[in-house]
């Protein structure tokens, strides 16, 4: 397997708490890796490290073989979707999607607009493009956030619990769209969640983490049928 992303012995401490405790993972090109763990297990910290939003105590992140250590967030070939859709409140949906394409990627106005419309179509939000975030539902806002992130066509897509807080029906629908989008765009992704069923539905491989450490990495089938630790069995709800 070609490692598109290598996380090497990542360690991050916050006074007293080791949030990320010696994590090493390789992600293959086009792979959907899901990091599954309970609240407080270090998932968001890990994604923020990969995005360059959190400094490491030790270890390194490689993307496409290139060490990221000294690269600021905007120079990393990474797109991130946060748990709470961080849209700009004063901009409409299309402006939210195209802003980073113009100022981050440097596309001209017409090209950014065309790219924005393409991803708006994929996320089924073409009818909402002139609305401000406050004029949209939670699910619609999350679609805008996904379109904005994916339109960057970044080498790596990071998703921090993008489905949490949505009602059950919307949750399932959007989950299916994320899965389809990841497949059709052949994106390499790291998706963190505390939700076992999301992990099972979306992952090529799952890494189960607990207190900043990896308990097991495997396919959904392996994790479910051959849990390596009592923690994994308990958390996944595998048959005894």
Interface positions with ligand ADP (CB under 6 A): 14, 17, 19, 37, 39-45
Q: State the binding partner of 14 from ligand ADP, Mg ion, none, CB within 5 to 8 A by kind.
A: ligand ADP
Quickly count: other Cβ atoms within 10 Å of residue 2's Cβ. 11
- CA–CA dist 65, 43 (Å, integer): 23
Asked if 44 is part of the footprint of Mg ion (rule: CB under 5 A), the reply reads yes
Judged by beta carbon, residue 14 or residue 88, the one nearer ligand ADP is 14
Q: Count CA atoms closer than 13 A to 66's CA, side-chain side.
A: 11
Kindly state the smallest distance separating residue 39's Cβ from ligand ADP, in Å. 4
Q: How buried is residue 149: exposed, middle or buried, by Cβ count under 10 Å (0-12/13-18/19+)?
A: buried
Looking at the chain, how many residues does it have?
Answer: 240
Are the C-beta atoms of residues 45 and 19 closer than 8 Å to each other? Answer: yes
Q: State the binding partner of 39 from Mg ion, ligand ADP, none, CB within 5 to 8 A by kind.
A: ligand ADP
Q: Which residues lie below 8 Å from residue 186, measured CB to CB, with a gap of 6+?
A: 30
Number of helices (H), then strands (E), belonging to the chain: the values are: 8, 10
Kindly state the smallest distance separating residue 40's Cβ from ligand ADP, in Å. 4
Residue in 69, 86, 80 with CA at minimum distance from that of residue 154: 80
- CA–CA dist 154, 13 (Å, integer): 28
Judged by beta carbon, residue 164 or residue 185, the one nearer ligand ADP is 164
Name the phi and psi angles at 67, rounded to 5. Answer: -60, 135
Judged by beta carbon, residue 13 or residue 131, the one nearer Mg ion is 13
Judged by beta carbon, residue 54 or residue 95, the one nearer ligand ADP is 54
Judged by beta carbon, residue 39 or residue 184, the one nearer ligand ADP is 39
The packing angle between helices 93-103 and 109-122, to 10°, is 130
Kindly state the smallest distance separating residue 196's Cβ from ligand ADP, in Å. 14
Kindly state the smallest distance separating residue 52's Cβ from ligand ADP, in Å. 15
Kindly state the smallest distance separating residue 128's Cβ from ligand ADP, in Å. 29
Number of residues engaging Mg ion in binding (CB under 5 A): 2
Kindly state the smallest distance separating residue 57's Cβ from ligand ADP, in Å. 13
Comparing every residue's Cβ against Mg ion, the nearest one is 44
Q: Which stretch binds Mg ion (CB under 5 A): 17-25, 35-43, 85-93, 101-109?
A: 35-43
Residues forming contacts to Mg ion in the complex (CB under 5 A) are: 43-44
């Amino acid at each position: 397997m070609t490692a598109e992303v290598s996380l090497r012995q990542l360690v991050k401490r916050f006074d007293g708490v080791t949030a990320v405790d010696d994590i090493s993972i390789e992600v293959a090109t086009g792979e959907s890796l899901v990091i599954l763990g309970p609240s407080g297990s270090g998932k968001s910290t890990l994604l923020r490290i990969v995005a360059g939003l959190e400094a490491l105590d030790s270890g390194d992140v490689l993307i496409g073989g290139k060490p990221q250590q000294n690269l600021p967030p905007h120079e990393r070939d990474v797109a991130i979707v946060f748990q709470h859709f961080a849209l700009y409140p004063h901009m409409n949906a299309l402006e939210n999607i195209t802003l980073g394409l113009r100022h981050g990627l440097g596309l001209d106005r017409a090209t950014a607009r065309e790219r924005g419309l393409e991803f708006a179509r994929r996320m089924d939000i073409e009818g909402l493009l002139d609305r401000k975030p406050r004029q949209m539902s939670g699910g619609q806002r999350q679609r805008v956030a996904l379109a904005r992130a994916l339109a960057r066509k970044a080498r790596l897509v990071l998703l921090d619990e993008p489905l949490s807080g949505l009602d059950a029906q919307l949750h399932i629908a959007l989950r299916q769209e994320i899965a389809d989008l990841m497949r059709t765009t052949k994106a390499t992704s790291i998706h963190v969640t505390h939700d076992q069923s999301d992990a099972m539905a979306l992952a090529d491989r799952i890494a189960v983490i607990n207190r900043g450490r990896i308990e097991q990495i495997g396919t959904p089938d392996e994790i479910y049928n051959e849990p390596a630790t009592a923690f994994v069995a308990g958390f996944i709800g595998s048959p005894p």
